Amino acid sequence: MKITDVLFPSLTCHCCTWLSKKRVLENLSTMISHHLSGNSDYSETLFQKFLSREKLGSTAIGNGIAIPHCRAFGVKRIYGCLVTLKNPIDFEAFDNQPVDVIFALVVPEERNDEHLATLARVAEVLQNKTSRQSLRECQSDKDLFDTAMLLERES
C-alpha cells in the first residue's frame, strides 16, 4: 500500500509540541481513535498497542524518523498518521538522533502482508534525505499532508 492510500488530512499535524515518546504515542492514539470513531474511546487501546510494540524495540529508523506501528482488532483498513515535532525528542533511536518526523501506522490484525508492505513503503520514502527535508520545511497541517502526497507520487 502507498502513503496516499492510508493518510488523511485529519491525520496530519505540523509542528506539534509533544515533549516525550509517551506523549507522542498518547496523542497519536487519540488522533487515530478520533478519526476512526469520531471520539477518543479507542485511544487507550491503541496507546497500549503502540507501547507494546515499542517494548519490542524502538520504531525509530534513524535520521530523526520514527514509524510507530501496531495491529489492532476491529480496525477495517490501514491508517497512517503523520506528524512533525517542533522540538525533536528522544525515541531511543539506534543512531542516538532525536526524532522530529513521525509516521504512525495502525493496521487490522489479519493484514500482516499489507502491514509489512506499507511499513516498507513509508520507510523507503522517509529514508530519502530530500523527502525528510521537504517534510521538515512544511508550514501547516495542509502543507504537510500535500507534501506527503507529492513525495509518494515522486518516489
Domains and CATH numbers, the chain: 3-154 (3.40.930.10)
Q: Can you tell me the distance from the alpha carbon of 112 to that of 24, in angstroms, rounded to the nearest whole number?
A: 24
Per-residue pLDDT reduced to its tens digit, 112-136: 788 899 999 999 999 999 999 999 9
Q: What is the model's pLDDT at position 50?
A: 98
Give SS3 for 7. Answer: strand
User: Is this prediction's pTM over 0.75?
Assistant: yes
Q: Can you tell me the distance from the alpha carbon of 82 to that of 102, in angstroms, rounded to the nearest whole number?
A: 6
Find, among 79, 83, 67, the residue nearest to 35 by Cα. 79
Per-residue pLDDT reduced to its tens digit, 62-94: 999 999 999 998 888 999 999 999 999 999 999
Per-residue pLDDT reduced to its tens digit, 45-54: 999 999 999 9
69 catalytically annotated: yes
- Using alpha carbons only, what angle is made at residue 29 by residues 94 and 35, rounded to the nearest 5 degrees? 130
Selected catalytic residue, list 14, 35, 69, 115 = 69
Q: Can you tell me the distance from the alpha carbon of 40 to that of 33, in angstroms, rounded to the nearest whole number?
A: 5
Give SS3 for 63. Answer: coil
